[in-house]
């Protein structure tokens, strides 16, 4: 496994990419009409479900366009996703005023998601830690004083431990996207595989977009050739674009019992195609503990 991860650290960037635009506030519909729900139910029967017995991992890469060490962390995050493409899912989350705020003329774009980025910054104390930082299912890092975020060198070991866990939750997302109206409809089905007495669980739903281009500091660049150590056309992967159910999700269950099932329907009005490329967007849904914020299960589906 270590050999595979090492071999995958060197990534080849995709040739086709888009210029990132400023994130927008989500327009979420908390409920859909009976006809829309029926259409999602029908779509669910046509799509394969992720294995119930397979634990998956959410890797949150906290980054910033002015963070020169962050490209190295992003390379590792991509390698982990490529090693386990159906089990490790990445979100690149831009945070902190120092590293992520626009700095014209080279860094004119604000990659941060309004309201969400500052809340994550405060909760994980990211501005004081410095970047890059990351969370692996928000599980404590023993080598980092049991903090839920840590430097990227610690990600692979915790990820391997998380992947070996027996899942307590089965999670499935079914999307129906109308390219004409840009309306995205979602069905999120949760099935608890074991009882979780005394625990309150929350459902999180986010949207990411891949292959976005913007300026990025990169300390790996030679100062002689690149005095500013800046890549003008850096390709960003798995960028967090919107949060549909609160920064840390919305309440779903308290003390669920085995086989207990929950279904939620959501509608989201996506921006125009000139702003977001739907074919490069994906929905990530996860179940997390309300008290510890630790992620019990995650799943991902493209549009």
- Mean pLDDT split into 10-residue runs, the chain, 303 residues: 36 34 54 91 94 96 97 97 97 97 92 96 95 97 96 97 97 97 96 97 97 94 92 95 94 96 95 94 98 97 95
Does the pTM surpass 0.75? The reply is yes
Q: Give the structural domain span for 72.
A: 2-8+17-302
Give pLDDT, residue 200. 97
Spatial separation of the C-alpha atoms in residues 62 and 227, rounded to whole Å:
25
Contact 132, 163 (CB under 8 A): no
Give pLDDT, residue 44. 96
- Report the number of distinct structural domains present in the chain: 1
Give pLDDT, residue 19. 37
Give pLDDT, residue 3. 37
Give pLDDT, residue 231. 93
As given in the structure block, the two tokens for residue 285 are 């849904």
Give pLDDT, residue 26. 52
């Amino acid at each position: 496994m270590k050999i595979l991860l090492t071999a995958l650290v060197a990534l080849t960037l995709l040739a086709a990419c888009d210029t990132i635009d400023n994130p927008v506030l989500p327009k979420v519909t908390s409920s859909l009409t009976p006809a829309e729900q029926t259409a999602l139910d029908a779509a669910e029967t046509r799509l394969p479900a992720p294995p119930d017995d397979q634990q998956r991992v959410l890797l949150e890469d906290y980054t910033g366009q002015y963070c020169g060490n962050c490209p190295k962390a992003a390379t590792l995050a991509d390698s982990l996703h490529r090693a386990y493409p159906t089990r490790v899912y990445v979100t690149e989350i831009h945070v902190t005023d120092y590293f992520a705020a626009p700095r014209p003329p080279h860094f004119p774009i604000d990659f941060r998601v309004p309201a969400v980025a500052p809340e994550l910054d405060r909760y994980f104390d990211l501005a004081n830690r410095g970047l890059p930082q990351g969370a692996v299912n928000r599980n404590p890092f023993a080598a980092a004083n049991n903090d839920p975020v840590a430097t990227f060198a610690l990600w692979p070991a915790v990820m391997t431990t998380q992947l070996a866990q027996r899942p307590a939750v089965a999670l499935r997302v079914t999307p129906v996207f109308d390219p004409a109206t840009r309306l995205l409809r979602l069905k999120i089905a949760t099935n608890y595989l074991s009882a979780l007495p005394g625990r309150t669980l929350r459902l999180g739903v986010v949207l990411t977009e891949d292959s976005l281009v913007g300026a990025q500091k990169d300390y790996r660049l030679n100062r002689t050739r690149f005095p500013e150590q800046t890549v003008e056309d850096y390709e960003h992967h798995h960028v967090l674009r919107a949060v549909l159910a609160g920064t840390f999700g919305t309440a779903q269950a308290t003390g669920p019992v085995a086989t207990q099932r929950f279904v939620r329907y959501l509608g989201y009005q996506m921006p125009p195609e000139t702003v977001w490329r739907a074919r490069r967007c994906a929905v990530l849904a996860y179940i997390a503990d309300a008290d510890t914020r630790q992620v019990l299960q995650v799943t991902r589906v493209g549009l």
